Structure 1
Amino acid sequence: MVQPGVKRDSVRHHPAVNGPSGASDELPLWVRRQDLTEADLPYIHTLLADSFEEWLEQADGFPWLPACRIVLLHPDCTRVAVSPGDADAPAPAEWSRDILGDTAASLAIDSCRPAHLRADEHSSASLRAFDSLAVPVFSRTSGFVFAALACLLPAGSAQGSELKLLQAAALHFRSCLYRRFELLFVRDLLQSNQLTSREERRRNMLFDVMRRLHDHIDVENVLSEVFNSLEQLYPLCRSDLFLSQDYSSTNEKVKPLSFHLQDMDLCWRAFMDGERREETDAGRRRIAFPLAGKQGVYGVLRLDVAEDAFDEVDVRFVAMLTGGAGTAFEKARLHEQANVLIGELRLINELTQRLNSSLRLSDTMQFATAELLHLFKADHCFILQLDPMKGHFTVMSSNVAELHQEVFATDYGFCGVMLSTKEPIILSDYRSATPVSSHLMEVTRSRSLLASPLLLNGEVIGAVMVAHEQANHFSYDNYKLLQVLSAHLGLAVSNASLHAEVRRMVITDNLTGLFARHYLNERIQRKQEKDVSGSLIVVDIDHFKKINDTYGHQVGDAILMQVSTIIRAAIRESDIAARWGGEELAIYLPQLSLDQTLRVAERIRKRVEAETAPKVTVSCGVSEWTSGDDRVSVESLFYRADMALYEAKHRGRNCVAIG
């Protein structure tokens, strides 16, 4: 029962219970003014137990009666600790009211006063062997009960001074508790301060890292900054970066994100989900952070650390670092791509200007071949032109001499594929299971291939192919660039071909297929400027007007074409045959002596007489020039040949005369 004559308030401020706390006077006053609150009650069991253990060590000289047991209870009446005692009379392990009913401890906690119950006043049989005394322990400022100290004495052994002794013990216990509380408080402050300082250092470091990351506009520098920062912060941590894009780095820690490797599952899940993923195995902790920007996920940063070496604060810090690195990587990558695009546009512009500056097809193709070899760092390049009439592709330009003018059927090789699909081709390795055979690839022993059709108005007019002897040499960016360049190259080839065709029509006689008179004059003039000699044959069909009058102009045209064919077959490739006018034809033979020219003229005369139908004959006038002549000109050469022709006519036709 509660000790009579003691009010609650007087107990709360009882000098024996609420005296000096015993805390160290060395601590600042503001620390000693800190106190427990009712919100701390669910969390103070450990503090109570440790303080009780310390108090027991210091209370060894207390004049307790033999067989006395001291019990420390929480305000919810759960037992926190008990002093050692006689094993034959154990103190109850559970002190809740549901089990023991009212006890001195529960009465002291409820009334906030010391309480004393005799053995026969206990409702629980487990306490009827004891007299029980209890005093509440109050907080030092707000005065709420945060514990109770109970004393169990063998029944009838109380001498009357035990309650005051217990009150003194409670004071001592509270001093021990507050000393521990103040030390814990100071320790928590120090830990909080250390944590705050650490967080501040991390924030400052993160700020510096982010600033340096965003100062870089080069991808390689961004990646180096990430690894340097991680190595500085976590020297025992192993880090690797797996990139999904077509990007090669000189940093050995940067690797491609491969779907086929077994240990890539963690990284692939982080990459696909765009969220952090981790796993633990054999004491190691592997964490995968997605390297993401605003436009997507570019790769995964994987850390491998000891399981206990990384806390959640570290994880959050690396996550923020990776997030900033992803944005910086994206910015640097976009900057590099923009520079590449600007370079490509500049290259396309320059290449287009150079291609269009020359209207000679051979010059255009040779220039394009050299530029493509340099641009794509290729080993071989081929530009082919489609001849739809003959149904084949012809190698018009190549750095492989043995393949120049090589002809391929329209259904063969990669050119055949492009003719049917009108789509470009990128091939990583020709030696792998490639269903298409290619003579060009086999002769050059190439493995990588970029190819694109040359289109004009949606129709294939040719193809361009660049090859390399190593596998996987070309990138997808190379593929896209060749696709753009091939459009300009196709237009340039078309323009050059059209120009060549127009020029051919201008310098060629439409009926006979021989050159026109003005072209012959130009060629002779250039030859006379460089050569030392040359000869001219003027051929005239005898009685041509009579043939037209007899057989008609169509037969006359046929005779002209027959004679022209005979002339082309009788002369060299370097000789120049032209229609001089009407039924007159002319042949210039550079660097040929007069005797040799006479034999050529005689051969033509005989073949015309023998091979034409209806049969006709021709008269020929021959002249020559040498660098030693007094006058060297086209006019004088033709004049002498024309005079010789008149001489042949005067002789009776079907003969050769010299002028």
Structure 2
Amino acid sequence: MTSIPNLYGIVHQSYFELLSTITNKSYNKIEIIVILLEKMGEFLNPSSAVVYYYDEFKNIYQRMDADLNLNSKLEPKFILKEDVFKYKKNDVKITFPFTVDQEEFLYVFTFTNRKLPSEENVEFVKKETETLLKMIGKFRVKKRSNWYYQELFELSKRIFATYDMNTILKEISGRLERNYSEISYTFFLSQDTEVSASLPVKTMEYNDIETENLSTKAFQTGELQSESKPEINASYIYAPLTGKQGIYGVLEINVPLNTSFPKMGKQFLIEFAHVAGKAIEAATLFQNSKHQVSDLTIINDTSHQLNSNLDLGEIVSLLKEQIQSTCHAADVGFIKFYDEYEILSGSSAFFHTSDNMLFMDYLYKKTKAYKEPLFIGNFSDEEMLLPYRSVMAFPMVQAGKVLSLTVILHRDSYHFSFDQFKLMQAIIQHSALAMANTILKDKLKEAVIKDYLTGLYSRNFLEETIERHMREGERGILMLFDIDDFKKINDSFGHHVGDQVLIQVSSTLMNHIGPGNIAARWGGEEIAIYAPNMNLEEGYILAEAISMQVELTTDPTVTLSSGVSAWNKEMKGDQDMLTLFLRTDKALYEAKNNGKNQVIKN
């Protein structure tokens, strides 16, 4: 055994030279530990020597594979932290635990045949080694800190220069892969983000199972979490991606158990994730701002058009176009509730079929009861058998009254995003006033051009329609009907019954005049029908059919006398409204004088 004075000199000289060498060359941590292990082996002359590195994420001392030809393979691969004291009690082993700038090491020297060095020598080597390690540690910490800050600076320069999420995540991934080649990682983001499929990105799940996971805990607390999973030979680190206004996800890092992860790397990882989080936050806020500006532009443009005195059909058309371009809906329906249930023109074909009746009743009841929008991502009802899974329904409410319901459908589940739902809600709300004004305007217009008792058009409206058609059209038919002996009805049953007879006759006419034809109350008990593009013979047949039906359906029973006249561009003489009326009225007068209950054409 070397004498103490000689040992002091040898150790001082060796460690001085070693410190000079290490500070002037780029040794990595393992190389330094191996060199130091060799030196300590020379001083203490053990039969075997091995060094362990404490990994706090795995809570174990992990043996470094330093080949010193000293039977190091006889030592265990891992030592649990709580088992370290057992080595200290073994009289053929000497252990040196060192903590140098947050990094812990454990040197284990084994001696055979109880040839232990003196206690003085052991303490001296331990003290000098500890001093050397502290000096090396300070040097390495400073060097690594400079490297860390340089890495964070370079990362910040790149990712804060863009608001593109793909570019940001690619830069972060590149840094991770360059600095930690043996790890794997995944970004769990709190918001659904469209990124390249090549990036390891997933959306965070929120369910009962996930709430127990450390990744969720890291997201909720904003603190780094770690766990060891020996069964799959891995440990996991969960670093929250934290911004100034919130947490935007978690960076999950998978470290193989045979890979050391320095304690200083923990702080670097926290700072790294924080920088990444702030960049993701900036990109998210920028994209949200863009969406909001775009949404506000859409709302503003739509509102401007809605306030340009559109009729109901134009409002529906505008809304449908906006819905299709924004939501890519499969089908869109507009249901008016102002007085009665009515599917508006412009709705998709599905809303005009009998298949949708149960669904419409369901929406009608929901809307009437709650007056709130519906947002359903996976609609299912065994009774309805609806082919759609994504459903949005927006009631238009004005002064507490539901005016209409806009229904947006798609066959795929969860097709509509919440952002689309909020945008559509805003647009529908802005449309409510315009639609209310249009419906009210239509109601007022109807009140002016329609008879309040029968619901038929007024004589003035009919005359204006005939005059316009005679200027623009080719031909037409005017029919005048007079209820026979109507005065007797009033005298015998009273005017109330007379009014009911008028309503019955008017209803029969409305049910039989056919599309495109107009019925109006001409005056008193006289009713007129104008049929554009019909010839005289067709008008005569229609008048007879109506007269027959009136006689069958009225109570008390009444009959009609009718006169029918036609006009066309080829007829000689002046063709105007007055001439057509006089000819038709003459035919009606003839029908009354010839015994009533008949049709005369002129």
Distance 1:238 1:261 in 2: 23
AA partner of residue 343 (structure 1)? S
From the superposition, tell whether residues 354 and 295 of structure 1 become closer, same or farther in structure 2 (CA, over 3 Å). same
Of residues 293, 310, 314, the one that matches 2:243 is 293
C-alpha contact 1:395 1:406 (8 A) present in aligned 2: no
Distance 2:12 2:389 in 1: 88
1:586 is paired with a residue whose SS is strand
Secondary structure class of the residue paired with 1:398 = coil
CA offset at residue 323 of structure 1? 0.7
Deviation at 1:301, TM superposition (A): 0.6
What SS does the aligned partner of 2:213 have? helix
8 Å CA contact 1:395, 1:403 repeated in 2: no
Cα distance in 2 between the residues matched to 1:262 and 1:564: 68
**Aligned ranges 1:283-432 → 2 under 5 Å:** 284-307=234-257, 308-357=259-308, 359-386=310-337, 394=343, 397-401=346-350, 403-404=352-353, 408=357, 412-431=361-380
CA change 1:463–1:573 in 2 (3 A) is same
* More off after superposition, 590-599 vs 403-412: 403-412
Which residue pairs with 1:204 in the alignment? 150
Q: Residues 152 and 275 of structure 2 are in contact (CA less than 8 Å); yes or no, is this contact kept in structure 1?
A: no
Alignment partner, residue 467 of structure 1: 409
Count the aligned residue pairs: 503
CA contact (8 A) 2:333 2:343 kept: no
Q: Which residue of 1 aligns with 2:582?
A: 639
Where do residues 434-445 of structure 1 align in structure 2 (5 Å cutoff)? 436=381, 439=384, 442-443=385-386, 445=387
One-letter amino acid matched to 1:596:
E
CA shift, 1:221, in A, is 2.5
Question: In structure 2, which of residues 423, 426, 435 is the aligned counterpart of residue 484 of structure 1?
Answer: 426
Superposed CA RMSD = 4.6
Taking the aligned partners of 1:507 and 1:451, their CA distance within structure 2 comes to 34
Q: Distance in 2 between matches of 1:187 and 1:194?
A: 10
SS in 2 for 1:473: coil
1:465 Cα offset (Å): 2.4
Secondary structure class of the residue paired with 1:480:
helix
1:367, distance to aligned residue in structure 2 (A): 3.6
Aligned partner letter, 2:203: P
Deviation at 1:396, TM superposition (A): 5.7
| 8 Å Cα contact 1:411/1:417 also seen in 2 | no
- Cα distance change, pair 600–271 in 1 and its aligned pair in 2 (3 A): closer
Which residue in the other structure is 1:120 paired with?
none
2:536 to 594, 615, 640: 594
Aligned counterparts, 1:550-629, within 5 A:
554=496, 557-558=499-500, 560-602=502-544, 619-629=561-571
Residue 337 (structure 1) shift: 1.1
What is the SS of the residue equivalent to 1:294? Answer: coil
User: Structure 1 residues 367 and 256, CA, compared in 2 at 3 Å: closer, same or farther?
Assistant: same
In structure 1, what is the equivalent of residue 159 of structure 2? 213
For 1:253, which of 193, 196, 200 is the aligned residue?
Answer: 200
* Residue identity matched to 1:293: G
Aligned partner of 2:444 in structure 1 is 502
Task: Map 1:524-535; keep pairs closer than 5 Å.
Answer: 524-535=466-477
Please name the residue that 2:391 is paired with.
Answer: 449
Aligned equivalents of 1:207, 1:293: Cα separation in 2: 17
Q: Find the residue that maps to 1:622 and give its secondary structure.
A: strand
Aligned partners of 1:241 and 1:301 also within 8 Å: yes
Spell out, residue by residue over 1:265-321, the C-alpha distance to the aligned partner (whole angstroms, 9 max, x if none).
Answer: 221221222111112344643211111122222211111224543212222112111
SS across alignment from 2:457: coil
Q: Unaligned 5+ residue runs, structure 2? A: 1-8, 22-36, 46-113
Distance 1:204 1:489, change over 3 A: same
Amino acid in the other structure paired with 2:379? Y
Please give the secondary structure, in 2, of the residue aligned with 1:271.
helix
The superposition leaves residues 454-508 of structure 1 with CA deviations (integer Å, 9 ceiling, x where unpaired) of 3232333443322222222222223323332332344444333323322222221
Question: For 1:157-172, what aligned pairs fall within 5 Å after superposition?
Answer: none
Task: Report if the CA contact (8 A) 1:537-1:587 is conserved.
Answer: yes
- Measure, in 1, the Cα distance between the counterparts of 2:542 and 2:234: 95
Shift of 1:553: 5.3
Matches within 5 A, 1:124-143: none
1:536 is paired with a residue whose SS is: strand
1:515 deviates by: 0.9
Kept in 2: contact 1:393–1:407 (CA 8 A): no
CA distance in 2, matches of 1:610, 1:404: 32
Change in 2 beyond 3 A, CA 1:202/1:575? same
SS at match of 1:579: strand
Q: Is the contact made by 1:535 and 1:590 (CA closer than 8 Å) also made in structure 2?
A: yes
Larger Rg: 1
Structure 2: distance between partners of 1:384 and 1:627: 42
The structural deviation recorded for 1:257 is 2.0
**Residue aligned with 1:512, SS:** coil
Label 1:310 to 1:404 Cα distance change in 2 as closer, same or farther (>3 A).
same
Q: Which amino acid aligns with 2:571?
A: D
* Conserved 8 A contact 2:338-2:402: no
User: Secondary structure, in 3 states, of the residue corresponding to 2:142?
Assistant: helix
Instruction: Identify which range, 579-588 or 310-319, moves more after superposition.
Output: 579-588
Q: Please report how far the alpha carbon of residue 243 of structure 1 lies from its aligned counterpart in structure 2 after TM superposition.
A: 1.6
* Change in CA separation of 1:401 and 1:370 when aligned onto 2, cut-off 3 Å: farther
Could you tell me which amino acid in structure 1 is paired with residue 577 of structure 2?
V
Residue 276 of structure 1 corresponds to which residue in structure 2?
224
Percent pairwise identity: 31
